[in-house]
Structure 1
Amino acid sequence: MGFRQVHLDFHTSEAIAEIGRRFSKKQFQNMLELGHIDSITVFAKCHHGWSYHPTKVNEMHPNLDFDLLGAMIEAAAEVGVQTPIYISAGLDERLARQHPEWLIRDMDDRTNWVAGFMEPGFHQFCMNSPYLPVLLEQIAEIVSNYETNYIFFDIVGVRQCYCHSCVKALREVGKDPQDAEAIRELGERTYAHYTEQVRQTIHSIKPNMGIVHNSGLLKGRRDLIDMSSHLELESLPTGGWGYDHFPLSARYVQQLGIEFVGMTGKFHTTWGEFGGYKHPNALKYETALNLANGARCSIGDQLHPDGLMDQVTYQLIGQAYGEVKEKEVWCSQAKNVADVGLLSVEAFTASGSHPQQVMDKSDIGAVRLLLEGKFLFDVIDLESDFNSYKVIILPDQIYVDAFLKHKLEVFFEKGGKVLATGSSGLNKEKSAFAIDLGVRYVGLNQYQPDYLKPAFEMPNFSHASLVCYSQGIEIDVVKGSVLGKRENPYFNRELFRYCSHQHTPSSKENGGPGVVESTNGIYIAWHVFDDYAKKGSLPLKEIIIYALNLLLPDKTLETNLPAQGVVTLQKQDQESRYVQHLLYAAPVLRGENIEVIEDIVPVHDIEVSLILESEIKRVYLAPQMQELVFEKKEDRIRYMLPVLECHQMVVLDWDADS
């Protein structure tokens, strides 16, 4: 699997003539070399349903008169570039119009992606229908006829479907298709059956071929992850994902030990855009963010129907991948170093014992705050080793059953601490705290929003009363220190009682404890991470960072890198070195909800100190190979980075004999 991939979309309508007429082996190879590309995903079959190769089990695009797939594979092989093969598994518009009865339907008999056939767009197939054997025939033909390292299957995953096949399957075993749980269970079985049939089909022909199902990442569902040989984390910042999305996914996947690729795009917006381009600095930053989080890189492009590769695109990609090529030796087989384990709300609710998925922003808010606060962290699930971390964060909605209670109590016995917020720590009945946080549950606070007045001085806001927009929890202190108290407003805003434009001011009366430190950690009595994701309150951030710093007196990393900067610490055991990644760019909103990186502003005199297990003998910049002065003071290694422009790796070699 390459470090410098391109995912080359080619969803091409039958209404366009002379497909591939300008394809040139030499021009294709020139663009691969211009882009410093070592792997390019090429199309066997697209969303329109057409094959781009001669076929006996499907139909080749009616306006293509040669084997485009084969020509691309041959051209790439001659210049040493791998060619994974793409198959649109879930969408096949040619076949959808012949067999609409094989499509996914909702309860109202509507299709998806579009609701019916009187609007432009694609329609998704149900893998519990006669479509699956047709797809398997197409797969077998491709695997038999072409050499590749893996097949990439798109538009797949666990679906909820009410098509005729699914309704029939449920009724045959005595289950009610109107039962949402029965539909959910059938969706799980259907997807598992699909992936197993694909595996058997491929491996009966080529046992070592890789398989990737592009089903999205559902944290906590390791069984779904195991259905692929590696992961490609689709995360186009300008396409609606934003720049917070990839670190949230990557910090979960890397701790699982599976190889993964971060997939962004060259597009100004998202997939399907012709004539849209990112600034080269954006691609440099996004690929560097991949490397900093232990991922390889993939950039999405879309081939013009005439088959000519776009030179501007590969000039842009080449600027980013030229840098990746120089850096990748310091990025392979790297493990993340983390003080904090963030127990993901998504992972918690998606696990087998907590099947109801909660779609909230607590994970997003927590990751954003950890990045801005420069904490080293992993995103974890219930199967993770809690004892690998100094602090576990339970963000907002982590209810504690017997299994989690036992894991946390073992963690506490070994000296671990938790930061629990909001409803986290309560039992499944939400009636009492299931773990000892030094507090007693009273109930949900009747006032929202309310106020938090810290007992400590915030760096920029002294002892100000802070508005908390999220749901507050009323508590009593059993044993612990109160770090902040609640102040309720005079009243909630309602029809005949309201004040000013937004909400009622604080009554300034003591409404009980709000932040409590006890033996096992710190509890904050609001859904603060959800609040931070939605409102981005700076005083709230200072309170959470203060709490985490109390829990991490010996945290691995300290730095003055500004809030918008990103820092990770990777470890290459086989090379006896740590690799510190530092990044800085400032995305701005341009247009409607599109985050754009254009200017790279240098940041100067970045101070870094680290507590490391190994005796450091050398510190240098990579790939520049420039030595850095460092000192060991007490238990910390300290160095200063004179200037950071977008991305810098600082390598810390240790004495392998120490």
Structure 2
Amino acid sequence: MKFRQIHLDFHTSEAIEDVGSHFSKQQFQEMLKVGHVDSITVFAKCHHGWAYHPTTANAQHPHLSFDLLGAQIEAAHEIGVKTPVYLSAGLDEKLARKFPLWLIRDPHEQISWVSDFMRPGYHQFCMNTPYLDVLSAQVQEVVTHYNADGIFLDIVGVCECYCQYCVAEIRKRGSDPRNREDMKALWEETYFNYTQKINETVHAIKPGLPIFHNSSHVDRGRRDLARVNTHLELESLPTGGWGYDHFPLSARYAQTLGMDFLGMTGKFHTSWGEFGGYKHPNALRYEAALSLANGARCSIGDQLHPTGFMDPATYALIGEAYREVEAKEEWCQNTTAIADIALLSLEAAGHAPGSKPLEGDNHSDTGAVRILLEGHYLFDVVDTEADWDKYKVIILPDAILITGSLQTKLAAFLAKGGKLLATGRSGLSPDGTCFALDFGAERQGVSPFKPSYFKPAFELPSLHTSSFVIYAEGQNISLKPGSKQLGSRENPYFNRDLFTFCSHQHTPSDLQDAGPGMTEGPDGIYLAWNMFEDYALKGSLPVKEIVVYALDRLLGQKSLLTNLPAQGITTLQVQSTDSRWINHLLYASPVRRGQNIEVIEDLPALTDIMITLSATDPVREVYLAPQRTPLPFQQENGTVSYTVPSWICHQMVVLQF
């Protein structure tokens, strides 16, 4: 897999004429060179359903007069650039109007993505219909006739569907479409049948050709879904709704799977389908560096103009980022991460045997990753199948009930000296009545007060001692004999209601001790609120510093200490074959522009960032990469310390053993 990929969207309406009329091999190649591109995903078929090549399995775009796909592949290969080929799998608008019975439908016969045919937009196909054979023939044709370097199938996944094909199939099996569990099994079977058919079609012609089935999200805890791909592409456009903390959450999970993966962002100011929109070059520099720091390779989304002319402004913009990536690749290949902490993803835990899948928004994983990033912890995001032996602490965020299989695995982790941090309902038995782990607490039930208050028995670094509001759901607990209380709960005088309300938002604390709010027992520390959900939604400084206190107490000694500002990110990657560590430092400060769009524009220089790493093996040298500038360091008492002079956006520090 290459490091510097372009995902070249080309969804082009039949109402546009002269398609491809300005395509030029020379100009196409020149833009790839300007952009420092080494791989570009080009289109065989778009969401409108049109092919961009001569075809018997589909229909070529009515206003395209030549083989655009073939010309792009030839031009790219001529200069050593790879060409994975894209086919829209889930969407095909020209067929949707011809075969509407093949479309996904909800129980009320509503279709998706657009609810009807009287408004602009696409409609998604069910793979349990004859459409799958049509798609398979289109894929077969492309792989047979073109020297593709991979196949990218878009808009697929396990989809709820009540089309008449699915209804007929479930009834044939002796069940009923109102039986949701049986329908879920059918939807899963439909997706795996689709991936098997497509993968077999491709590999029968070109064994081992890379294939990725894009659902825009890699489900944490569903390794079976990940393994239908040869690699992963983590779609995460920060300005397109994902935000800047989405990619680290996905990447810190993906790297634990042992698969090649890349981070997919976009050149757009907003998201896909935006013509004439550009983000600042500094944003792409940061986003590409964020991929490298998390063990990923890079992909940047663009959309080709209908005429086939490659936009010079776009490739100058992309080149700003990819020129730097090209210089850094040597230190970013074949890496694994060093981590002290494992965040057991709430999403992943919901997919574990005996657990209930997560429903609704997953704020807990998001809030936990934000605190871990801002606290500059070395961490992974894991599922229940991961090897937990290398971690010192496992976080159980907010709502992880302890099933039998999970309890067995946690017991083995604890027996080897590991510790747990649990919050909210986490750590409870499957019926939620009592703790399945020993945090020194006994559960009394859900607190009737929301919000409520926490008064820590320790002082927060940024604040004096006080009663701090916590907005999320809390639990009432009591302290087990011989256990330690690290802070107490306080309740408001009353909940805000029609005849009992006070001030503008919520009622103040009555300043009375209402029992423990934070306890410590043999298995670790427990906080009696959904702390991570609270941080994701409210971003409260006390909540972060309370969690940081708990983590630092459990860790004892962090493997990495730094004075990097809170908005900075640091990771530690290992290149075992080269006997070296790579410490990545990143800094940018997104600001909100418009309506919910995070923008990176300025990249201030940071100076004198101090790092101390736990390292017992002798270090031969420390240097900045890619500059190869030697860096003074000290190694003593099992640690290596160095100070990074002035740097902007992204700096790698290499420790050569």
Same fold (TM over 0.5): yes
Superposition deviation, residue 360 in structure 1 = 2.3
Task: Look up the equivalent residue of 2:224 and give its one-letter code.
Answer: D
Question: Is the partner of 1:644 in helix, strand or coil?
Answer: coil
Is residue 548 of structure 2 the alignment partner of residue 517 of structure 1?
no
Question: What SS is found at the alignment partner of 2:194?
Answer: helix
Q: What residue number does 1:422 align with? A: 424
> What are the ranges of 5 or more consecutive residues in structure 2 without an aligned counterpart?
none
Aligned to 2:389, what secondary structure does the other structure show?
Answer: helix
Quote the Cα distance in structure 2 between the aligned partners of 1:449 and 1:110: 39
Q: How far 1:327 moved relative to its partner?
A: 0.2
Letter in 1 for 2:512: E
Over residues 316-359 of structure 1, what are the superposed CA-to-partner deviations in whole Å (9 max), with x where a residue is unaligned?
Answer: 00010000000011000000100000000011112343242233
> Which deviates the most, 177-186 or 563-572?
177-186
Aligned: 1:650 with 2:647: no
Paired with 1:454 and 1:643, the residues of 2 have a C-alpha distance of: 38
State the 1:453 CA deviation: 0.3
Q: Do 2:603 and 2:649's aligned partners in 1 also have CA atoms closer than 8 Å?
A: yes
In the other structure, the counterpart of 1:147 is 147
Shift of 1:540: 1.1
Q: For 1:571 and 1:208, how far apart are their aligned partners in 2?
A: 28
Which of 575, 588, 592 aligns to 2:591? It is 588
Separation of aligned partners in 1, 2:483 and 2:388: 24
Name 1:309's counterpart in structure 2: 310
Which residue is 2:233 aligned to? 232
Match of 2:35 in 1: 35
Pairing of 1:407-556 with structure 2 (within 5 A): 407-478=409-480, 479-556=482-559
Q: Give the Cα separation in 2 of the matches to 1:613 and 1:473.
A: 42
The SS at the match of 1:388 is coil
Shift of 1:614: 2.4
Q: Paired residue for 2:255?
A: 254
2:11 matched to which residue of 1?
A: 11
The CA distance in 2 between the partners of 1:556 and 1:388, in whole Å, is 12
2:593 is equivalent to residue 598 of structure 1? no
The equivalent of 1:111 in structure 2 is 111
TM-score for both structures, normalised by structure 1: 0.99
One-letter code aligned to 1:438: G
Question: 1:268-417 to 2 correspondence within 5 Å?
Answer: 268-358=269-359, 359-417=361-419
Q: After superposition, what is the alpha-carbon deviation per residue over 1:387-410, rounded to whole angstroms, capped at 9, x for unaligned? A: 220000000001001111111111
Pairing 1:22–2:22 present: yes
Q: Please say if residues 18 and 306 of structure 1, whose CA atoms lie closer than 8 Å, have aligned partners that are also in contact.
A: yes
Encode CA deviations 1:502-553: one digit per residue, 9 max, x unaligned: 1110011000001111222111010000000000000111111011000111
CA distance in 2, matches of 1:281, 1:21: 33
Q: CA deviation at 1:181?
A: 1.6
Q: Find the counterpart in structure 2 of residue 242 from structure 1.
A: 243
Q: CA deviation at 1:633?
A: 3.2
Cα offset for 1:613? 4.3
Structure 1 residues 260-302: Cα deviation after superposition (integer angstroms, max 9, x where no partner) = 0100000000000000001000000000000000000000000
Aligned equivalent of 2:625: 622
Question: In 2, are the aligned partners of 1:285 and 1:583 still within 8 Å (CA)?
Answer: yes
Aligned length: 654
Distance 1:614 1:595 in 2: 42
1:638 maps to: 641
Match of 2:56 in 1: 56
Does 2:563 match 1:560?
Answer: yes
Q: Do the aligned partners of residues 613 and 92 (structure 1) sit closer, same or farther apart at CA in structure 2, a change above 3 Å counting?
A: farther
Q: Deviations over 1:125-160 (max 9, x none)?
A: 000001001111111111100112210000000001
The CA distance in 2 between the partners of 1:603 and 1:488, in whole Å, is: 43
Q: Contact (CA 8 Å) 2:560, 2:611: kept in 1 or not?
A: yes
Residue 368 of structure 1 aligns to which amino acid in structure 2? R
Q: For the aligned residues, what is the CA RMSD? A: 0.8
Contact 1:579 1:649 in 2 (8 A): yes
Q: Contact 1:584–1:644 (CA<8 Å) still a contact in 2?
A: no
Query: Does the 8 Å CA contact 2:437/2:523 hold for their aligned counterparts?
Result: no
Name the CA distance, whole Å, in 1 between partners of 2:43 and 2:350. 36
Local SS of the residue matching 2:607: strand
Verify the 8 A CA contact 2:616 2:639 in the aligned structure 1: no
Q: 1:633 to 1:607 in 2, by over 3 A?
A: same
- 1:160 maps to which residue? 160
For the residue of structure 2 that corresponds to 1:554, the secondary structure is coil
Is 587-596 or 601-610 further displaced after alignment? Answer: 601-610
**Aligned counterparts of 1:494 and 1:516: Cα–Cα separation in 2:** 31
Amino acid at match of 2:478: D
1:84-134 per-position Cα deviation (integer Å, ceiling 9, x unaligned) = 000000000011111001000111111100001011000000000010011
Tell me the amino acid that sits aligned with residue 302 of structure 1. Q
Q: For residues 360-418 of structure 1, give each alpha carbon's deviation from its aligned partner in whole angstroms, at most 9, with x where no partner exists.
A: 20000000000000000000000011222000000000100111111111111110000
What SS does the corresponding residue of 2:66 show, helix, strand or coil?
coil
Letter in 2 for 1:120: P
Residues 198 and 343 of structure 1, relative CA distance in 2, 3 Å threshold: same
In 2: Cα distance, 1:11 partner to 1:25 partner: 20
Cα contact 2:438–2:524 (8 A) shared by 1: no
The aligned amino acid for 1:210 is: P
Answering whether residue 83 of structure 2 is matched by residue 83 of structure 1, we say yes
8 Å contact from structure 1 (residues 23, 308) kept in 2: yes
- CA distance in structure 1 between the aligned counterparts of 2:643 and 2:483, rounded to whole angstroms: 39
Q: Relative to structure 2, which stretch is displaced further, 351-360 or 78-87?
A: 351-360
State the one-letter code of the partner of 1:263: M
Structure 1 contact 218–350 (Cα < 8 Å) conserved: no
2: CA distance between counterparts of 1:120 and 1:536?
Answer: 38
Question: How has the CA–CA distance of structure 1 residues 191 and 352 changed in structure 2, closer, same or farther, with 3 Å as cutoff?
Answer: farther
Q: In the TM superposition, what are the counterparts of 1:205-216 in structure 2 within 5 Å?
A: 205-215=205-215, 216=217
Q: Secondary structure at the match of 1:97?
A: helix
1:157-203: CA deviation from partner (whole Å, max 9, x where unpaired): 00010001000000111111012222211110000000000111111
Runs of 4+ in 1 over 4 A off after TM superposition: none
Aligned pair 1:93/2:93, yes or no?
yes
Q: Does residue 1:221 correspond to 2:222, yes or no?
A: yes
Task: Give the secondary-structure state (helix, strand or coil) at the position aligned to 2:165.
Answer: helix
Contact 1:47 1:122 in 2 (8 A): yes
State the shift of 1:642 in Å: 1.2
C-alpha distance in 1 between matches for 2:579 and 2:557 = 23
Contact between 1:583 and 1:644, CA under 8 Å: does it hold in 2?
A: no
1:611 aligns with 2:652: no
Distance 1:314 1:547 in 2: 47
Deviations 1:474-523 (A, max 9, x none): 11111321111001111111111111111110011000001111222111
* CA distance, structure 2, for counterparts of residue 614 and residue 263 of structure 1: 36
| Local SS of the residue matching 2:355 | coil
**Residues 582 and 644 in structure 1, CA contact (< 8 A), matched pair in contact too:** no
Distance in 2 between residues matched to 1:129 and 1:370, nearest whole Å: 45
State the alpha-carbon separation in 2 of the partners of residues 614 and 355 from structure 1: 44
**For the Cα contact (< 8 Å) 1:289–1:583, is it kept in 2?**
yes
- Give the aligned partner of residue 68 of structure 2: 68
Does the aligned pair in 2 maintain the 1:611–1:635 contact within 8 Å? yes
Distance 2:258 2:615 in 1: 22
